[in-house]
Structure 1
Amino acid sequence: MTKKHLITCSVIVVLVIISTLNIFSSAPAASPVKYIAYTPPALLLPKPAETGEAYNFADEALPLDDKKVDYKLQRSIAKHRYKIIQSNVLHAKADKLFPIIEPILKAYGIPDDFKYVPLVESGLRGGTSPKGARGIWQFMPGTARTYGLRVNRKIDERLNLKKSTVAACKYIKELYQEFNSWTLAAAAYNNGSVKLERAIDRQNEDNYFRMSLNRETGTYVYKLIAMKEIINNPEKYGYKNFYSYNQRPLPFMLAYN
């Protein structure tokens, strides 16, 4: 009886020891893993005005969803910064001639943005191109005569600012009536209506910004918009120390001029 009792007690002790070892050796049950969805920080996208919303030609906006359009515009603006031009001559000439050009454009119902055409066409120099275009509006002799300018050996009214601007208004208005778009009218002014019409028919596309045109015409409206931006926001692009009639001094300042 004593032996059985001892055996029984020994077994119980062994079982207790084994049970104790199992308790301390076993790892605690792992708590369920919680997965938290990663939310990336907000992208620092430029404001709409910086991506092109503020840019337009004659109130015809650029398609902002087209990266090529934005690239062409920014490239054109970059080419007209002060670091590249190194001169305020365009602002100076614009200040002198825009007051004459603007009321004529208005009288003929032409958008004010067309006053930048002479800046792009001739830099307001009024010189003669290798092809024979002359004056700030760069009229060819035949086109000039078509719209009422006298061009002969004795007189060339392409050099007359007011008369040539009137002729340009008549021409631009006719182009708008043909294409029903001011951007296309500007493109046709540069490349001719026949060539532009052919390009529209061939591409089945009448949005200037989505068309594939020759290098000069394909960048023409971008240059106009860039010039508009540079003239209206000179300090933003490095132009300083100049006076603009668009920023007229206050009356009390006139006494000191």
Structure 2
Amino acid sequence: MKTNVATTLAELKKNEKDDFYSSISFANEEIPLEQESVKRKLDKYLRKFSYLERSSHQIHRKADQLLPRIAKILKSYGIPDDFKYIAVVESSLNPGTTSHKGAGGYWQFMPATARLYGLRVNGKVDDRLDLTKSTHAAARYLKSLYSEFGDWTLVAAAYNVGGGSLRGSLKRQRKDNYYDLKLNAETAAYVYKIISMKTVLEKG
């Protein structure tokens, strides 16, 4: 009897976990969760961001306020809604965040890339700090990446590592899927971070 009860409880927990995984998605593209390595990486960042969300409500509060504005702009360019979470992962929706390499603003644009997509960055003005202007620039950049890669998951990776670098990795490794690529540690984790942040904010 005890064995039967224990078995039933184990099956219930497994079913709950399977239901949870089946609810996870990114940009309407398949996540190969049947691969244990993919599931393991996703679990890692789900745990990390779940802890972050529990310990501070600041990001959640900013997300409630700013993500609808970001989503509206992305939609006008045909960019999937899930890409709004890039801004959360990049800057925690804090425009004052600046990387050691000089990337800044909500979308963590490098100055040269920001200018390329229509933003002013000089000693007097920094449009990277403007949510509306920088999101329009990010949408134009993401759209240009999609015209090259034709895959939204690869677009997300390219946003992090750069289109040229990702293109080189795809060619050298003869792959066409982000989850099969061997990339630098930051880019290898990047899409998992976006998916995990999305999951925590939507289900939290």
TM-score under structure 1 normalisation? 0.72
In 2, Cα distance between equivalents of 1:177 and 1:138? 22
SS at 1:209 equivalent: helix
CA displacement, residues 105-164 of structure 1 (integer Å, 9 cap, x when unaligned): 111110000110011011111111110001010000000000000111111111111000
Shift of 1:85: 5.6
Shift of 1:102: 1.3
Give the match for residue 91 of structure 1: 60
Give the match for residue 136 of structure 2: 166
Q: CA 1:65–1:108 in structure 2 vs 1: closer, same or farther (change >3 Å)?
A: same
Return the match for 1:54 from 4, 20, 23: 23
Give the match for residue 73 of structure 2: 104
Give the match for residue 118 of structure 2: 148
Return the match for 2:149 from 139, 162, 179: 179
Match of 1:93, as an amino acid? K
Give the match for residue 197 of structure 1: 167
1:22-101 matches, within 5 Å, as 44=11, 45-47=14-16, 48-50=18-20, 52-82=21-51, 86-101=55-70
Conservation of the 8 A alpha-carbon contact between 2:107 and 2:138? yes
Match of 1:132, as an amino acid? G
Give the match for residue 86 of structure 2: 117
Conservation of the 8 A alpha-carbon contact between 2:53 and 2:60? no
In 2, Cα distance between equivalents of 1:165 and 1:87? 25
Q: In proportion to residue count, which structure has more helix?
A: 2
Shift of 1:68: 0.1
- Count of aligned positions: 193
SS at 1:69 equivalent: helix
In 2, Cα distance between equivalents of 1:122 and 1:92? 14
Q: CA 1:68–1:157 in structure 2 vs 1: closer, same or farther (change >3 Å)?
A: same
In 1, Cα distance between equivalents of 2:134 and 2:104? 10
Shift of 1:84: 7.4
Unaligned runs of 5+ in 2: 1-6
In 2, Cα distance between equivalents of 1:49 and 1:59? 17
Conservation of the 8 A alpha-carbon contact between 2:105 and 2:128? yes
| Percentage of pairs with the same residue | 50
Alpha carbon RMSD of aligned pairs, Å? 1.6
Shift of 1:89: 1.0
Give the match for residue 223 of structure 1: 193
CA displacement, residues 12-31 of structure 1 (integer Å, 9 cap, x when unaligned): xxxxxxxxxxxxxxxxxxxx
SS at 2:99 equivalent: coil
Q: CA 1:102–1:221 in structure 2 vs 1: closer, same or farther (change >3 Å)?
A: same
Shift of 1:46: 3.2
In 1, Cα distance between equivalents of 2:89 and 2:54? 13
In 2, Cα distance between equivalents of 1:183 and 1:85? 28
Unaligned runs of 5+ in 1: 1-40, 235-257
In 2, Cα distance between equivalents of 1:231 and 1:173? 25
Q: CA 1:163–1:84 in structure 2 vs 1: closer, same or farther (change >3 Å)?
A: closer
CA displacement, residues 153-194 of structure 1 (integer Å, 9 cap, x when unaligned): 111111111000000000000101111110100000000011
